């Protein structure tokens, strides 16, 4: 299933430029991720891809997500919900604060993690890859309550 040149997206061109193979499965997985504003699980991507490509295998989804992660095109976050979440990296870098009491998720921008990153580079010479962090704890409403 080779898309016509007039359908080629910029991501296809970029991947082609990086000498990466573009299989039908990969193109579909990438488009599901690009179209998805929220985080998405591997299982949900699998369901979406199967709509157009019924014989795709779940292990291919996982392998492709790993490949995209390695290329820096996707970020992966464990929100503590039992499955890891994925997010198209260009849809904005941010992080999360997950309340362990009520489950509320507060988004956090990059400024504080960037400060930490710079401090770690200074102190330890270590260059942290701040892809997509999730910190667990208690939100404002749940702090006064005990367990």
Residues that bind a copy of itself (CB under 8 A): 70, 78, 97, 99-100, 106, 108, 112-113, 115-116, 119-120, 123-130, 135-140, 143, 147
- The three-class DSSP label of residue 96 is strand
57 binds, among DNA, a copy of itself, none (CB under 5 to 8 A by kind): DNA
Which tokens go with 29?
């997985």
Question: Which residue of 8, 11, 22, 101 would you call a contact of DNA, by CB under 7 A?
Answer: 22
* Cα separation of the two ends of the chain: 54
Q: Which does 126 bind (CB under 5 to 8 A by kind): DNA, a copy of itself, none?
A: a copy of itself
Q: Are 18 and 53 in contact (CB under 8 A)?
A: no
The label of the residue with tokens 């699998």 reads: 46
- Please identify which residue in the block is written with the tokens 């390695």: 70
Residue of 9, 13, 52, 59 interacting with DNA (CB under 7 A): 59
Instruction: For residue 86, give the H/E element and its range.
Output: strand 84-88
d(C-alpha 16, C-alpha 22), whole Å = 7
66 lines the binding site for DNA (CB under 7 A): yes
Q: Compute the least distance from the CB of residue 98 to DNA, in Å.
A: 15
**Residue for token digits 């095109």?**
73
> In terms of CB distance, is 48 or 87 closer to a copy of itself?
87
Residues that bind DNA (CB under 7 A): 1-2, 16, 19-26, 41-43, 53, 55-60, 62-64, 66-67, 82-84
């Amino acid at each position: 299933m080779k898309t016509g040149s007039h359908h080629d997206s910029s991501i296809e061109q970029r991947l082609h430029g990086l000498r990466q193979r573009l299989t039908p499965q990969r193109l579909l997985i990438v488009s599901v991720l690009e179209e998805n504003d929220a985080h998405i699980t591997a299982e949900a991507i699998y369901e979406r891809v199967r709509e157009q490509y019924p014989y795709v295998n779940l292990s291919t989804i996982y392998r492709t997500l790993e490949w995209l992660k390695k290329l820096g095109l996707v970020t992966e976050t464990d929100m503590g919900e039992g499955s890891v979440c994925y997010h198209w990296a260009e849809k904005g870098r941010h992080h999360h604060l997950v309340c362990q009491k009520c489950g509320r998720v507060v988004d956090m921008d990059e400024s504080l993690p960037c400060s930490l990153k710079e401090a770690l580079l200074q102190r330890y010479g270590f260059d942290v890859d701040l892809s997509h962090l999730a910190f667990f704890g208690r939100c404002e409403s749940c702090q006064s309550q005990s367990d």
